[in-house]
Structure 1
Amino acid sequence: MPTDRKPPRPGEIMLDFEPGTRGGPTLEFIGEIRSPWGPDDCPKNIGQARETGKPARVELRPEYAPALLGLEVGQPIILLFWMDRARRDLIRQAPRHADGLRGTFALRSPVRPNNISMSTVRITEIDHETGVIGIDAIDVLDHTPLLDIKPWLSRVDVPPGELT
């Protein structure tokens, strides 16, 4: 949980509590994402990460390695992860890339009440025994906790009306 509560930008709305302190359901981290990125050089989105050509990897906890059965090199997967170093207290934000204010739920920003984020990546290598998956790119800080992996399925994951 971040310790710095930066003052909001003009027009932003800040919660008067820290969402992470309210309690509630727990989550199991199944591993972590290893990336080449630190706080000062992390790309802002997966497109920027791919442009760098820097690969990354997923390292599962050993007990979850058997769950990789059926995944293959070249396959797209959806990673769900916990942005553990992102702030959680803004519900209206002033993004630098857009004119005007946006509600948190209208943005892909890591700043949200629950720092759950996702990215669709492609498997470049996979070791079913050790639970290590090479991926084409990722836009998260090194050692970001991993919540889940789901296969990307064209018949399910394309919005209605966009199937070709």
Structure 2
Amino acid sequence: MSDRDDYTSEIRPGERVLDRNPASADDARICFIGEIRTPWGPQDCPRNIGSARQSGQGARIELIEGMGEGLEGLAPGQPLVVLYWMDRARRDLILQAPRHTEAPRGTFALRSPNRPNPVAMSVVLIVSIDARAGVIEIDALDCFDRTPVVDLKPWHASIDSPAELPSGRNP
């Protein structure tokens, strides 16, 4: 077991864990395409992308060899969807008690990294691209240094903005 596999932490009152740890399942394969470089570690990582942006600290995505060509067509200033694997998060919590809520909530009602499949998503802005080196400088990201990247996708308002809700409905 590597240090990345050690995601044990205290169980807060009201939290519940699954009967089995989803990390032990052998039913999917993901190919990480690179890693995210940030100044953050477990003690100082921002809680969300907004806080990461407020810090003024940028981030960088470093793709593995051979993936840089996949950046063709992206440009500085463009929004980018980054899917990343929160490899140091718990995977067995199904009911969580965040400090910012009054009562426990189900994992799927939260943006917490603690989930059966710790996939995170953020929309960032591309600052610069070096496709030959497979490096993208971005405005910010709220994850630990060396977090694995699952995928990158361009963000398009015409596709990615949610539909308007019917009158009188609140999200």
1:14 aligned onto 2:17? yes
Contact 2:6/2:88 (CA < 8 Å) preserved in 1? no
Matches within 5 A, 1:52-91: 52-91=55-94
Distance in 2 (alpha carbons) for counterparts of 1:49 and 1:18 = 30
Matches within 5 A, 1:10-49: 10-49=13-52
- Give 3-state SS (helix, strand or coil) of 1:62's partner: coil
Q: How far has the Cα of 1:5 moved from its partner? A: 3.1
Alignment match, 2:105: 102
After superposition, the CA RMSD in angstroms is: 1.2
Q: 1:54 to 1:7 in 2, by over 3 A?
A: closer
Q: TM-score, normalised on structure 2? A: 0.91
Q: How far has the Cα of 1:4 moved from its partner? A: 4.8
Structure 1: gaps spanning 5 or more residues: none
Identity percentage over the alignment?
Answer: 53
Q: Deviation per CA, 1:90-129, whole angstroms, max 9, x where unpaired?
A: 0010111111111000000000000111111000010011
Match for 2:40: what amino acid? W
Match for 1:62: what amino acid? E
1:155 aligned onto 2:155? no
Alignment match, 2:132: 129
Structure 2: gaps spanning 5 or more residues: 166-171
Q: Deviation per CA, 1:119-157, whole angstroms, max 9, x where unpaired?
A: 110000100111100000000000000000000010011
In the TM superposition, structure 1's runs of 4+ consecutive aligned residues that sit over 4 Å from their partners are: none
Match for 1:84: what amino acid? D
Q: 1:55 to 1:7 in 2, by over 3 A?
A: closer
Match for 2:68: what amino acid? A
Distance in 2 (alpha carbons) for counterparts of 1:74 and 1:3 = 37
Distance in 2 (alpha carbons) for counterparts of 1:121 and 1:72 = 12
Alignment match, 1:120: 123
Q: TM-score, normalised on structure 1? A: 0.95
